[in-house]
């Protein structure tokens, strides 16, 4: 099992987890169309997805209340600079605004989300991964984890976000700070971001250990695996 904070994952909705684990075992929503790692010409909706206008909330049933005053982002493992940013430190970094689409593995997609925060490129330039670092584990305040390879996260459209559509991220959507990695299914975008570990080897996070794909590219339909 995952390393958890006492009392946190203990309160998760086991039924919800069982359902999603069964979807993985059943290969739910797979169309067999997925092949290309990018959107083919003129196509914006990945295979098996449907467009929504609202913004659904998905998590383990626990929504930690983290005030910006208490929030910290720590870094561990194979980096030169083991930072621990307060919210103030984080807001003092160069800021970016990025518009991107969300694709959730449960089948919904939402276009044109305007995020504000700190680009992952800037974050990486500050922490400076050591040559041996090949993968990251993102940790949320709810005990959630998700893994990503360093080359996958190191993209222009990935950011550590504090705002959506000009407003601070709400608690339910992972405020005060979450990751946003639009080219992968949204489960890779950790809410209530708390810690980022740099590892010499990619290993499964919470959903990846329960039948979900290690990379999660929606264009390749990497839902399960």
Site string for ligand MTE, 30-59 (x = CB under 6 A): -------------------------xxxxx
Among 71, 85, 87, 192, binds ligand MTE (CB under 6 A): 192
Show contacts with ligand MTE in window 65-124 (CB under 6 A): 104
Helix and strand numbers (H, E) in the chain are: 4, 11
Instruction: Rule CB under 6 A: say whether 208 interacts with ligand MTE.
Output: no
Q: Which does 56 bind (CB under 5 to 8 A by kind): Mo ion, ligand MTE, none?
A: ligand MTE
Whichever of 129 and 218 has its CB closer to ligand MTE, that residue is 218
With CB cut-offs between 5 and 8 Å by kind, which of Mo ion, ligand MTE, none does residue 194 bind?
none
Strand order in the sheet with 72-77: 84-86, 72-77, 193-199, 135-140, 145-149
Closest C-alpha to 18, from 48, 61, 56: 61
Examine residue 162 and tell whether it contacts ligand MTE (CB under 6 A). no
Stretch that binds ligand MTE, among 21-29, 31-39, 184-192, 213-221 (CB under 6 A): 184-192
C-alpha 201/C-alpha 182 separation (Å) is 23
Residue 190 touches which of Mo ion, ligand MTE, none (Cβ within 5-8 Å per kind)? ligand MTE
CB environment 154-179: b (16+ within 10 A), e (fewer): eeebbbbbbbbeeeebebebbbbbbb
52 makes contact with Mo ion (CB under 5 A): no
Site for ligand MTE contains 174 (CB under 6 A)? yes
Q: How big is the site for ligand MTE, counted in residues (CB under 6 A)?
A: 18
Which listed residue (58, 83, 91, 209) binds Mo ion by CB under 5 A? 58
Could you give the CA distance from residue 203 to residue 199 in angstroms, rounded to a whole number?
A: 9
Going by their DSSP bridges, the two strands 50-51 and 72-77 should be labelled as unpaired
Q: Is residue 123 within the footprint of Mo ion (CB under 5 A)? A: no
Per the structure block, which two tokens stand in for 206?
């919470």
Residue 224 near ligand MTE by CB under 6 A = no
Angle value at C-alpha 50, between 102 and 100, nearest 5 degrees: 20
Number of amino acids touching Mo ion (CB under 5 A): 4
Query: Is the sign of the CA dihedral 159, 51, 152, 174 positive or negative?
Result: positive
Site residues (CB under 6 A) for ligand MTE?
55-60, 104, 140, 142, 144, 173-174, 186-187, 189-192
């Amino acid at each position: 099992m995952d390393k958890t904070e006492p009392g946190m994952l203990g309160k998760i909705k086991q039924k919800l987890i069982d359902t999603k684990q069964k979807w993985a075992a059943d290969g739910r929503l797979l169309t067999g169309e997925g092949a290309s790692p990018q959107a083919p010409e003129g196509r914006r909706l990945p295979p098996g997805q449907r467009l929504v206008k609202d913004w659904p909330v998905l998590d383990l049933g626990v929504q930690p209340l983290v005030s910006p005053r208490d929030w910290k982002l720590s870094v561990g493992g194979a980096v030169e600079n083991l930072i621990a940013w307060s919210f103030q430190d984080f807001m003092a970094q160069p800021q970016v605004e990025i518009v991107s689409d969300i694709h959730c593995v449960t089948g919904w997609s939402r276009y044109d989300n305007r995020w504000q925060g700190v680009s992952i490129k800037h974050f990486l330039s500050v922490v400076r991964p050591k040559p041996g670092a090949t993968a990251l584990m993102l940790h949320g305040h709810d005990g959630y984890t998700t893994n990503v390879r360093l080359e996958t996260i190191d993209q222009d459209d990935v950011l550590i976000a504090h705002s959506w559509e000009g407003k601070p991220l709400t608690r339910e959507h992972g405020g005060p700070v979450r990751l946003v990695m639009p080219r992968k299914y949204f489960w890779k975008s950790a809410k209530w971001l708390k810690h980022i570990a740099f590892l010499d080897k990619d290993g499964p996070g919470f959903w990846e250990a329960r039948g979900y794909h290690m990379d999660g590219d929606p264009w390749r339909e990497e839902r399960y695996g």
